[in-house]
Amino acid sequence: MTQTTVAIIGAGPIGLELAISLGRQNIPYILFEANQLGHEFSKWPPQTRFFSTPEHVALAGVPIHTPDQIALTGEQYEAYLRMLCEMFAVNLRNYERITAVHKQPDGQFILHSRTRTAAHQTRAQYVVFATGGLTRPRPLHIPGEELPHVTHYFPGPHKYFRTRLLVVGGKNSAMEAALRSWRAGVQVSLSYRRSALNFERIKPHLAMDIGDRLEKGEITFYPSTVPIEITPSHVVLASTQEDGSPNGRVTRLPADFVVLATGFEADMSLLAEAGVELVGEEQAPQHNPDTMETNIPGLFVAGTAAGGTQIHKFKLFISTTHHHVVNIVRTITGVEPTQVGTTTSRNTAATYEEVKAN
Ligand SMILES: Cc1cc2nc3c(=O)[nH]c(=O)nc-3n(C[C@H](O)[C@H](O)[C@H](O)COP(=O)(O)OP(=O)(O)OC[C@H]3O[C@@H](n4cnc5c(N)ncnc54)[C@H](O)[C@@H]3O)c2cc1C
């Protein structure tokens, strides 16, 4: 059995930043990743840009320089993550999923893991869940959702050129799928369960663009509708009242493809099985925000995992969770880590000190 001091579960940006921070203090750790480093970004549509600017997603005090200084694409960020991993010789065990975490009577943890070909066990003094908050698409539970022309992951617009695409959703991902597809020669319709888009919750550049497209009728809008069935040739949309309940009217809309941009949800089952108390509808792990330690001593949460499913408001993302790394490293080692988040000279609004203060 392998022995380590800190087992980090999840090599997203925050798990990676924590690994680098522990490595800088010579604390033995293993960074387990069920898929590939930065798996989240490989699920993004090609050439999708961050909403955050580069300094907000920089890690471990290592700046991100780009020729154009605008927000990075997912692909550029993957390259940055790989570079950090090599630069700091991060002890990454990719394609190794943690399947169970058991606390032992002596206070240590046994982690059970699986690779494609074998099962392993690791003994660790501390465990950090940096498992993210976007594990799987939020299902609609309607007939036809599993058909091959239906997806929760927008694959980029080319696939839909000269076809009829229905995009379902009213937030940034839906707007991006609708606008990119329309611009790529797709006949786009948009279904949203509310009577109007909430432009204040859509990124300004997307809000302006979609407003223009809808006003000109270039994208057909079906407000106050929800899909209730998808067939190979149609989507059945039920009209809803202001409270979201159906009013009895249905529209059968022809569609060649359907993108269900209805959000993602976290899988908190591993935390629950490890004994962590999950609070409220969002199932946020119970933890002390000053240390990030949960109700299980020695077991911590970091990054978006700390917010559970975040169904009400997405407050935790990269730039607002760097301070989790600081709090965990300080609690475990007693030493305040520096070089977390962006370079100090950038002085962004989301340096961890400011996030902590708000
Ligand atoms: C289209 C889109 C645009 C976005 N834009 C932004 C933006 O502009 N700014 C921003 O800050 N955020 C943005 N986000 C959200 C961003 O992806 C998250 O904030 C970020 O990935 C969270 O980092 P994390 O390290 O907390 O978790 P993740 O990046 O989710 O990493 C968690 C990792 O844990 C691994 N894992 C899970 N369970 C296990 C297990 N049992 N064993 C081993 N490994 C496991 C997963 O495979 C995953 O790699 C966007 C998301 C989307 C979809």
Do strands 225-230 and 284-285 pair parallel, antiparallel, or not at all (unpaired)?
unpaired
Which residue type occupies 232? P
Indicate if the alpha-carbon torsion angle 352, 50, 315, 284 is positive or negative.
negative
Task: Judge residue 334's burial from the number of C-beta atoms within 10 Å of its C-beta, 0-12 exposed, 13-18 middle, 19 or more buried.
Answer: exposed
Ligand 1 pocket check for 54: Cβ under 6 Å: no
10-residue stretch averages of pLDDT, the chain, 358 residues long: 97 98 98 98 94 93 93 97 98 98 97 98 98 92 98 97 98 96 98 94 94 97 97 96 84 98 93 96 95 98 94 86 96 94 67 48
CATH number of 2-135+264-357: 3.50.50.60
User: Is any ligand 1 atom within 6 A of the Cβ of residue 132?
Assistant: yes
Ligand 1 neighbour 285 (Cβ under 6 A): no
Question: Ligand 1: does its nearest atom lie under 6 Å from the Cβ of 101?
Answer: no
Per-residue pLDDT tens over the stretch 246-259: 888 999 999 999 99
Length of the chain equals 358
pLDDT of residue 309: 85
Pocket lining: 283 vs ligand 1, CB cutoff 6 Å: no
Kindly tell me the burial class for residue 235, based on how many C-beta atoms sit within 10 Å of its own C-beta (0-12, 13-18, 19 or more): buried
Quickly count: other Cβ atoms within 10 Å of residue 184's Cβ. Answer: 15
* Cβ(219)–Cβ(166) below 8 Å: no
- Distance from Cα 123 to the centre of ligand 1, integer Å: 26
Atom of ligand 1 nearest to the CA of 264: 53
Centre of ligand 1 to C-alpha 26, Å, is 26
What spacing in Å lies between the alpha carbon of 134 and ligand 1's midpoint?
Answer: 6
Helix (H) or strand (E) holding 258: strand 257-260
Fold of 139-260: FAD/NAD(P)-binding domain (3.50.50)
Digit-coded pLDDT (tens) for 183-232? 999 999 999 999 999 999 899 999 999 999 999 999 999 999 999 999 99
Give 87's contacts (C-beta < 8 A, 6+ positions apart): 62
Write down the domain spans for the chain.
2-135+264-357, 139-260
C-alpha 158/C-alpha 171 separation (Å) is: 21
Number of H helices, E strands in the chain: 9, 19
Q: Do domains 2-135+264-357 and 139-260 have the same CATH topology?
A: yes
β pairing state of 264-265 and 119-129: unpaired
Whole-angstrom distance, CA of residue 230 vs CA of residue 137:
17
Tell me if 112 sits within 8 A of 48, measured CB to CB.
Answer: no
Instruction: List, in sequence order, every residue forming a beta bridge with 127; answer none if it has no partner.
Output: 7, 299
Give Cβ neighbours of residue 160 (< 8 Å, ≥ 6 apart). Answer: 181, 184, 186, 256, 257
**Contact between residue 20 and residue 81 where contact means Cβ atoms under 8 Å apart:** no
Query: What is the structure's pLDDT at 348?
Result: 55
CA-atom Rg of the chain in angstroms? 22
pTM: 0.93
